């Protein structure tokens, strides 16, 4: 998403609300590494925060900026959250903390040149200047070359933080000049506890976690938050298509493929449903279900399906998901999946209803 800019080379000054490293969940190892460097006075001049989208890289970069500029003292390894500096960073108003967003599809050379010019200036009011590059892998080749010059001899008051979900897309010359900090997908238990702590019902939180891929950002998105109703609509469509036959399945595959953003989400829903059928089939333990709010229906369907058919269907769903990550054709992939489901579990899934 492009930032709103006053001129082509300025930066976005509207980072999300953040209140120090304590706002991060499930990233203890990354936090320890950063805080150890802060406390020892050995903060790197450039970091590469690498990990999946929505797991807290940007929050961590802003928390680092708070810790480096907190007015509570030089020995702190986290921002206090209440001093003027921390509050300004939280509101995106600190002149020494800047977030560079892609301008359209890429980070452009003019943006990086402007950053380089600002790097050379001493902090306006804080102790350290922190520049955060969102989606660093989207730099053009010219922008990457311009940034390389900045990374070679940065002044001591500057810290650059590059955020990326695909570090392999960055030039090795840039990666080698940064200290890499790995951010991992958040464990299901930690993410579920976080959601419950935000007031989300335990059963609904479990369903959200199953489709969030360990990403807080994704778990809190409107699409995932409404997972219960969208799950029911999708399963109803699927059941109707399996019941009505081949022509209906081809039509369903076409409609599902058109909404590319939801293809993966729908497959995760189906994977979770089939997984629950397997769990009930082999254990009868409904408390282990992801779809606990639909336990009766899961149990009823599992009773009418052979375990081998459930496992075969689950395997096909996962193969389809893997294929789509390798840029397989969504419509053809979904057609193949639906016809394979029709050949295995159709008789058990036609009962699905919202």
* HEC profile of the chain: CCCCCCCCCCCECCCCCCCCHHHCCCCHHHHHHHHHHHHHCCCCCEEEEECCCCCCHHHHHHHHHHHHHCCCCCCCCCCCCCCHHHHHHHHCCCCCEEEECCECCEECHHHHHHHHHHHCCCCCCCCCEEEEECCHHHECHHHHHHHHHHHHCCCCCEEEEEEECCHHHCCHHHHCCCEEEECCCCCHHHHHHHHHHCCCCHHHHHHHHHCCCCCHHHHCCHHHHCHHHHHHHHHHHHHHHHHHCHHHHHHHHHHHHHCHHHHHHHHHHHHHHHHHHHHHHHHCCHHHCCCHHHHHHHHHHHHCCCHHHHHHHHHHHHHHHHHHHCCCCHHHHHHHHHHHHHHHCHHHHCCCCC
Give the tens place of pLDDT for each residue, 149-176: 899 888 999 999 999 999 999 999 999 9
Residue scoring higher pLDDT (134 or 214): 134
What is the structure's pLDDT at 5? 33
Mean pLDDT score, 278-307: 89
What is the structure's pLDDT at 74? 58
Give the tens place of pLDDT for each residue, 204-241: 888 888 777 778 887 787 777 666 788 888 988 898 88
Residue scoring higher pLDDT (226 or 353): 226
What is the structure's pLDDT at 347? 56
pLDDT at 350 > cutoff 50: no
What is the structure's pLDDT at 24? 87
What is the structure's pLDDT at 261? 75
pTM, to two decimals:
0.69
In the predicted model, what is the mean pLDDT of the chain? 86
pLDDT at 15 > cutoff 60: no
Mean pLDDT score, 105-125: 93
Give the tens place of pLDDT for each residue, 296-327: 889 988 988 899 999 999 999 999 999 998 88
Mean pLDDT score, 242-262: 90
Mean pLDDT score, 135-158: 92
Cα(301)–Cα(271) distance, rounded to whole angstroms? Answer: 15
pLDDT at 242 > cutoff 60: yes
What is the structure's pLDDT at 94? 95
What is the structure's pLDDT at 349? 61
pLDDT at 193 > cutoff 70: yes
Domains of the chain, CATH where assigned: 21-184 (3.40.50.300), 226-349 (1.20.272)
Residue 128: band (very low, low, confident or very high) from pLDDT cuts 50, 70, 90? very high
Contact 23, 30 (CB under 8 A): no
What is the structure's pLDDT at 219? 79
Contact 191, 54 (CB under 8 A): no
């Amino acid at each position: 998403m492009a930032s709103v800019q006053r001129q082509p080379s300025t930066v976005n000054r509207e980072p999300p609300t953040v209140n120090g490293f304590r706002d991060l969940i499930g990233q203890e190892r990354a936090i320890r590494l950063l805080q150890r460097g802060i406390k020892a006075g050995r903060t790197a001049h450039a970091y590469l925060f690498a990990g999946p989208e929505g797991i807290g890289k940007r929050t961590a970069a802003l928390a680092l900026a708070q810790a480096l500029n907190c007015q509570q003292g030089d020995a702190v390894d986290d921002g206090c959250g209440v001093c003027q500096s921390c509050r300004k960073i939280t509101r995106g108003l600190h002149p020494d903390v800047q977030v560079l967003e892609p301008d359209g599809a890429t980070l452009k050379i003019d943006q990086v040149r402007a950053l380089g010019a600002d790097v050379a200036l001493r902090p306006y009011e804080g102790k350290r200047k922190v520049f955060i590059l969102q989606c660093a892998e989207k730099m053009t080749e010219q922008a990457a070359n311009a940034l390389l010059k900045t990374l070679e001899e940065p002044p001591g008051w500057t810290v650059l933080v590059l955020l990326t979900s695909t570090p392999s897309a960055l030039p090795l010359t840039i990666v080698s000049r940064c200290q890499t900090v790995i951010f991992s997908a958040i464990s299901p238990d930690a993410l579920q506890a976080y959601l419950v702590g935000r007031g989300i019902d335990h059963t609904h939180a479990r369903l959200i976690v199953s489709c969030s891929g360990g990403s807080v950002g994704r778990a809190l998105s409107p699409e995932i938050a409404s997972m219960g109703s969208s799950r029911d609509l999708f399963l109803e469509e699927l059941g109707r298509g399996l019941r009505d036959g081949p022509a209906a399945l081809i039509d369903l595959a076409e409609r599902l493929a058109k909404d590319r953003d939801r293809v993966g989400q729908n497959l995760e829903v189906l994977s979770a449903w089939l997984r629950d059928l397997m769990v009930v089939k082999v254990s009868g333990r409904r408390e282990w279900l992801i779809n606990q709010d639909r336990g009766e229906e899961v149990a009823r369907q599992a009773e009418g399906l052979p375990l081998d058919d459930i496992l075969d269907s689950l395997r096909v769903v996962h193969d389809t998901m893997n294929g789509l990550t390798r840029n397989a054709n969504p419509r053809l992939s979904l057609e193949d999946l639906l016809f394979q489901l029709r050949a295995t579990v159709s008789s058990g899934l036609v009962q699905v209803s919202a």
